[in-house]
Structure 1
Amino acid sequence: MKASPLAVAGVVLASTAHAQVVQFDIEKRHDAPSLCKRDATIDGTLSNQKVQGGYFINVEVGTPGQNITLQLDTGSSDVWVPASTAAICTQTSQRNPGCTFGSFNSDDSSTFQVVGENLFDITYVDGSSSKGDYIEDTFRINGINIQNLTMGLGLDTSIANGLVGVGYINDEASLGTTRQTYPNLPVVLQQQKLINTVAFSLWLNDLDASTGSILFGGIDTEKYHGDLTRINIISPDGGKTFTEFAVNLYQVQASSPSGTDTLSTSQQTLTAVLDSGTTLTYLPQDMAEQAWNEVGASFSDELGIAVVPCSVGNINGHFAFTFAGADGPTINVTLSELVLDLFSGGPPPQFSSGPNKGQSICEFGIQNTTDAPYLLGDTFLRSAFVTYDLVNNEIGIAPTNFNSTQTNVVAFASSGAPIPSSTSAPNQSNTGHSSSTQSGMSAASGFHDGDDDNAASLTGAFSGPGMIVVGLTICYTLLGSAVFGVGWL
């Protein structure tokens, strides 16, 4: 949901299916798709639109199939597509290029049927929305046919691209209208015996990689380092109802050659949602500001985000995220993964004043928010291999193996089986977090020159081409949660 419709081109699909094993491949290339096989899993390669944000997968909807590119989103639960008759698709302009990711014409599908007229309704926290019908039609990913999949059809939408939501059914938008759930894509894959259990693994690869992958029904032991550690998913009501992939974020530390600082927060409980549909990482206001101070970033009033000199991405340092208690797994996110270009094409904008005058401006991958739940988006997830187990309500997590060319897929043994090759984190805590007891920030000098005025001056005006594109990118980056039904995007 954070991607601009300016970006996707030449995304090609490949898939595999074999005795409850299916592999999905999606990548930017123009040659014919190749097919390969995996046992009891579905593995798909995702195209990385790193500037506009998000990871995308090509699908076909209807009979005959209509090609549409959809954003993969672990933070929502519905598949939905924009209707070809929606105003955002037909009324194009310089600022609205239309539905360049594709749209769906129901009149051209012989298998189309409406199952919930005017019952698809999602409104996001920034006011963007998509409304229309619930439909059933053929849904095809890389040659894998799913008959009569329930989807949303966006007839009146302010969002130009649809989504593939793979979250819990208890977060479906239908709960806001029909008060009922339906089998969504991950559930249907298990019902059709393409995978053994409702689970998938996500490997986004590094910031500069054009592709990542999603593996339904299994793990790939070549895509991570060390141990795959299981941590609990947190229920919002403390019971057995699960709606989002929320986990306890126990501690965040900033480490540079000069030392390590523990970031503190006034929040009593620090719960974070692992969400591939969010481009950036959003931490509590006080914690985010400490992260900015570490790297010399500052909030830009002009852009409405924290910005940083692009050169910071070359500094040796990282932020360490620890989960579910002091003995839980830790994921290190380097600065090279946290400094993002503001737009593609042409030279970047530059600071026009202050100590960074003349330096290129980049977006910082850790932003601030005042409301829980807090979000660990793509700027975090690229550094982790994450398995989402929707049956046992657990997350498996390990440091990613960037740019791995090897594969060793291990399927879940059965429905409800534990995540393969994993161990449970000891002494887990679902609440609470570590707080800093340091009065100073010793690591900060290793990230930047230590001039406290440096960060504050970053809010000055800047110059350079592409500001319209910058504004569009920021708009997509800041799309938030649904008011009802869908989780974070």
Structure 2
Amino acid sequence: MRSALLLVALVAIASTVQAYVHIPLTPRPRTDVQKRALLEMLKFAQNTGGINFMRPYMGFTPNDVPVIPLQDFSNTQYFGDIVVGTPGQTFKVIFDTGSSNVWVPSIKCRSIACLIHQKYESGSSSTYKPDGKEFVIQYGSGGVKGYQSKDTVSMGPVKVKDYTFGEVVQEDGISFIFGKLDGIVGMAFKSISVNGVPPLFESMVNQSLVEKDMFSFYLSQTADSETKKADSALLLGGSDKKYYTGDVTYVPLTSRTYWEIKVDDINIGGKSTGACAKGCRAAVDTGTSLIAGPAELVAPIIDIAHVASDCSNINELPNIDLVLNGKAYTLTPKDYVLNVTAFGASQCTTGFLPIKLPERLGNFWILGDVFLSKYYTEFDSANNRVGFATSVQPPK
């Protein structure tokens, strides 16, 4: 009898254990001025042959300084909270699958950007441990500098003790000044991490703090609406069927640097563009708002799927398919057209960004939030794959 009661108790306890940790994500607030500026910046890039675009070690050797575009982070829509130290200090961050380090501003930082953001105060944390190794990430028109520190870092209820992160004492670049975010949590692989620091999620896995070596993103397409609440989320250690319809289909990784996959083809209106005739690779990147690709390949797509500024021809535009591991993932015009309302007026533009990359990278693409808000995404490190399923979206 006692054994039976014990078994019942264990089953009851097990049934209350959540299969994943839910981290809510919030749309990044933007003023009308910021919305208009971002729209004009995108149009400028589309009309002038693209912008220089770099991610850590993209086209560089591991001994080079990592380069990341400022435009990337200034465009990002979704952020969440992490807590550093004891007692906890809360920071608003981007959970970025296109980089691998964690950094937050230091109380010792005197840059203008630091003065208007939350800052980490090591002297107030009983779990702080000094490290001191130099921490530098160079951006396209600025960068962050500082040193490494160790402390308890938490995402929701998950706490990683003695985690090494960047304590930034200098932030250069106008995007840091106008950005609403305090820092970055990189969720790519250790191979592109500054100073070889294990990514935060990898540390969670190594310390058995999450159930599975995978995490998932659900990004609501209504994130910019002022009248509808977004339910975007990052799921640590698992997945949840309530966020998608149909089955998850998987694409194998081609590299454990970024979450890099092969793109078989890009179709417009059901016809191949031939863009990937010589092979295409793509990084699945939650730190980028748009779909970005080589300027010479993106320009024809923008020409064919050109939307009028007043959005009047959106229903006449073709569907665009990205073919991944033999399966076509369709974006309708309402998926890939950005409709930005500012100062009481709406303007539309195509959510494709032409970029300039080192020749050695070949046809390299970035699948950002334009794609990821349509397709719920599983980042499955244990099985070296990325999974996609059609997201369940609230009514618009």
**TM-score, normalised with respect to structure 1:** 0.60
Distance in 2 between the 1:169 and 1:20 partners?
A: 33
Residue identity in the other structure for 1:184: P
- Count of aligned positions: 323
Partner of 1:26 in structure 2? none
1:286 to 296, 300, 308: 296
Contact 1:273 1:376 in 2 (8 A): yes
1:171 corresponds to 2:192: yes
- Structure 2 vs 1, CA of residues 340 and 145 (structure 1 numbering), >3 Å: closer, same or farther? same
1:228 corresponds to 2:248: yes
- Structure 2 vs 1, CA of residues 401 and 315 (structure 1 numbering), >3 Å: closer, same or farther? farther
Partner of 1:261 in structure 2? 271
Contact 2:265 2:277 in 1 (8 A): no
Residue identity in the other structure for 2:300: Q
Partner of 2:239 in structure 1? 219
Deviations 1:390-412 (A, max 9, x none): 122111122222239xxxxxxxx
Matches within 5 A, 1:31-430: 39-49=18-28, 52-89=75-112, 98-99=116-117, 102-117=118-133, 119-124=134-139, 126-158=140-172, 159=176, 161-174=182-195, 181-208=196-223, 210-235=230-255, 242-255=256-269, 260-265=270-275, 268-297=278-307, 308-313=309-314, 317-324=318-325, 328-341=326-339, 345-348=342-345, 360-371=346-357, 372=361, 373-403=364-394
Partner of 1:487 in structure 2? none
Distance in 2 between the 1:392 and 1:189 partners?
A: 17
Distance in 1 between the 2:165 and 2:319 partners?
A: 40
TM-fit CA distance, 1:38? 5.2
Distance in 2 between the 1:370 and 1:346 partners?
A: 32
- Structure 2 vs 1, CA of residues 385 and 19 (structure 1 numbering), >3 Å: closer, same or farther? farther
Distance in 2 between the 1:204 and 1:91 partners?
A: 28
Distance in 2 between the 1:266 and 1:187 partners?
A: 32
Contact 1:264 1:287 in 2 (8 A): no
Distance in 1 between the 2:315 and 2:108 partners?
A: 46
TM-fit CA distance, 1:187? 1.7
- Structure 2 vs 1, CA of residues 333 and 316 (structure 1 numbering), >3 Å: closer, same or farther? same
- Structure 2 vs 1, CA of residues 312 and 44 (structure 1 numbering), >3 Å: closer, same or farther? farther
Contact 1:274 1:377 in 2 (8 A): yes
| Equivalent position SS for 1:286 | helix
Partner of 1:411 in structure 2? none
Deviations 1:426-468 (A, max 9, x none): xxxxxxxxxxxxxxxxxxxxxxxxxxxxxxxxxxxxxxxxxxx
TM-fit CA distance, 1:200? 0.7
- Structure 2 vs 1, CA of residues 78 and 313 (structure 1 numbering), >3 Å: closer, same or farther? farther
Partner of 2:47 in structure 1? none
Contact 2:107 2:120 in 1 (8 A): yes
- Structure 2 vs 1, CA of residues 310 and 207 (structure 1 numbering), >3 Å: closer, same or farther? farther
Residue identity in the other structure for 2:199: N
Distance in 2 between the 1:309 and 1:221 partners?
A: 37
- Structure 2 vs 1, CA of residues 184 and 53 (structure 1 numbering), >3 Å: closer, same or farther? closer
Contact 1:64 1:109 in 2 (8 A): yes
Residue identity in the other structure for 1:347: G
Contact 1:199 1:217 in 2 (8 A): yes
Identity %: 24
TM-fit CA distance, 1:131? 1.3
- Structure 2 vs 1, CA of residues 19 and 204 (structure 1 numbering), >3 Å: closer, same or farther? farther
More helix by share: 2
- Unaligned 5+ residue runs, structure 2? 1-11, 30-34, 36-74, 224-228
Tell me which moved more, 363-372 or 374-383: 363-372
**TM-score, normalised with respect to structure 2:** 0.73
- Unaligned 5+ residue runs, structure 1? 1-17, 22-36, 93-97, 175-180, 236-241, 298-306, 349-359, 405-489
TM-fit CA distance, 1:89? 4.3
Distance in 1 between the 2:111 and 2:292 partners?
A: 29
Distance in 2 between the 1:20 and 1:284 partners?
A: 49
- Structure 2 vs 1, CA of residues 87 and 393 (structure 1 numbering), >3 Å: closer, same or farther? same
